[in-house]
Amino acid sequence: MKIKNNSSVSGSVSLLNSLVEEGVDTIFGYPGGAIMPVFDALYDYKRLLRHILVRHEQGAIHAAQGYARASGKVGVALVTSGPGATNTITGIADAMIDSAPLIVIAGQVTSALLGTDAFQEVDIVGISQPVTKWSYQIRKAENIAWAVAQAFYIAASGRPGPVVLDFPKDAQLAMTNHYYEKCKSIRSYIPVPKTEKESVINAADLINAAEKPFALIGQGVELGNAEQEAIAFIEKAQIPAAWTLLGASVLPSEHPLNKGMLGMHGNLAPNLKTNECDVLIAVGMRFDDRVTGDLRSYAKQAKVIHFDIDPAEVGKNVDATVAVLGNVKETLPAVTALLKKANHDDWIDSFDIVNHEEYEKVIVKEIYPDESHITMGEVVRRISEITNNEALIVTDVGQNQMMGARYSKCKLPRSFITSGGLGTMGFGLPAAIGAKTGAPNRIVCLFCGDGGIQMNIQELGTIMQNNIKIKIIILNNKYLGMVRQWQEMFHNKRYSETPMLNPDYVKLAEAYRIKGQKVSKREDLDRAIQAMMAHNGAYLLEVEVEKKGMVLPMTPAGMCVTNVILEK
């Protein structure tokens, strides 16, 4: 029921029509008293707006994140006031630090009751302001269309992020003359900073003079839809590249210049070569502490070029010799045009020599183990191979996350979704639901641990009700694995509150009408994976893996990136 501009409608209808005008096709939500008029209006919008009923508001926000990151669109969550709104805060904070474009619409008590501690009243604007790009309370129906237009522009432009719209019930019910016009600019808000021509020239000059250039590829490339521009950039000057956790699928895994993952559990060569390169080129990444380790010893020998859309990130952690501000979709080609073709074969070969050491000491033991137990890495690698490395991988947080990043391979962009900056356990299951909704034609495989899966396991009900055909792989080691690893390495093997007594996950899946099976022997693994992939529907595969497996290499927190532990 799309309406025309200048129609007299309720605030609720104005809201939904505004969403339609912005191209929204899916909403993740949960109804309640303070948002009921909107849900009532939604009854007439079923042909235009698909609403996916989650089982918890945190599930709604993570699903909206998965949708946004898989589709490149803005994710939308619709919840009620009070606890409905506060249940989204973890997801909003997660989206803020990982730059996911979201709109969260929260019901609110009527304007007359604001500030009276009314039933299910909470100051969601005040609570959410530190973890949003913008929070706004819509008190008048005539402001709805304007607020929605502003919200979408702010959420999606520049460095993306979440926006909260607080929507009192009287504004939902009041009549208004609906008029929708998309927002194209906001005074004093500059989403994309001006790119200085001098910085482009200086960056190109540094790269052309470099003998050992090294590129660090982050999620900003994906957010800017600049994957092809990044490939053209590194290929022209023959620059080896590594990627951050959120930049995992920017470069095809098999690209010859792709040298692996950065960071605490990244590949050996990228970490060591960070402190050997003469020009370090950061592209759409923010020098997170899990990447840099001890800043006092991080890349001190190198001149640093930082490409970023957010000026606040430049110099925040690592000083930049040259800052190239702007959208990498435009700045990368500008620099590439000035680059000279180069030959850095010896430098590139040095990465391969170091990575071979890691392969022999770590990787081969993980994906081709001699022991009787199944390892996480071999499960991830087999599933990646069986899906022709074309699956969209979602992970929860912990050892499963690091193994998912290390041992899955990617052919296509937007193929790896995880909670990076906040590290939110419970992210995986709802995010996979959102990812499959945003990319319905792709195989979506979720890797999770026996701890994280239980944090939002109620979303199996969402899968059941909406027939979301995702593949859930529980890597069950009967521990909170990453915490246990730290306890083993740094706390004298004092396993305080990390052993897990778990339910029968297959029976639990069956209770939600989801097919599943459990595997504990290696000889059954491939057959089980094939059965999961052949099944036309959601599937839960529980794999009993090594109880005390380790994610290696590992650079201990706060240590220099070269202080890498390869063997336990």
CA distance 315 to 486: 31
CB 162 within 8 A of CB 85: no
28 a catalytic residue: no
Convert 369-382 into a string of H (helix), E (strand) and C (coil): CCCCCECHHHHHHH
User: Can 1 be counted among the known catalytic residues?
Assistant: no
In whole angstroms, give the CA distance from residue 230 to residue 387. 25
Q: Which is catalytic among the residues 36, 73, 120, 142? A: 120
The answer to whether residues 425 and 480 touch, using CB atoms and an 8 Å cutoff, is no
Residue 397's alpha-carbon distances to 218, 400, 451, in angstroms, are: 19, 7, 9
Residues in the chain: 568
| Known catalytic membership, residue 482 | yes
DSSP reduced 3-state for 27: strand
Closest CA to 253 of 381, 436, 361: 381
Q: Report the C-alpha gap between 518 and 434 in whole angstroms.
A: 25
Determine which one of 376, 482, 532, 554 is catalytic: 482
Count of Cβ atoms closer than 10 Å to residue 43 Cβ: 9
Which one of 28, 39, 65, 169 is the catalytic residue? 169
Residue 412: count other Cβ atoms within 10 Å of its Cβ: 14
- Does 303 participate in catalysis according to the annotation? no
Spatial CB neighbours of 321, under 8 Å, sequence gap ≥ 6: 206, 303, 304, 305
Q: How many CB atoms lie within 10 A of CB 532?
A: 22
CA-to-CA distance for 236 and 257, rounded, in angstroms?
11
Closest CA to 251 of 277, 228, 272, 284: 228
Closest CA to 512 of 470, 451, 450: 470
Selecting among 22, 57, 227, 358, the annotated active-site residue is 57
Paired with 243 in beta bridges are: 217, 261
Establish whether 152 is a catalytic residue: no
Catalytic residue, chosen from 119, 182, 510, 547, is: 119
Q: Which of 213, 358, 359, 369 is nearest to 299 (CA)?
A: 213
> From the CB of residue 110, how many other CB atoms can be counted at a distance below 10 Å?
16
Residues noted as catalytic? 57, 119-120, 169, 482
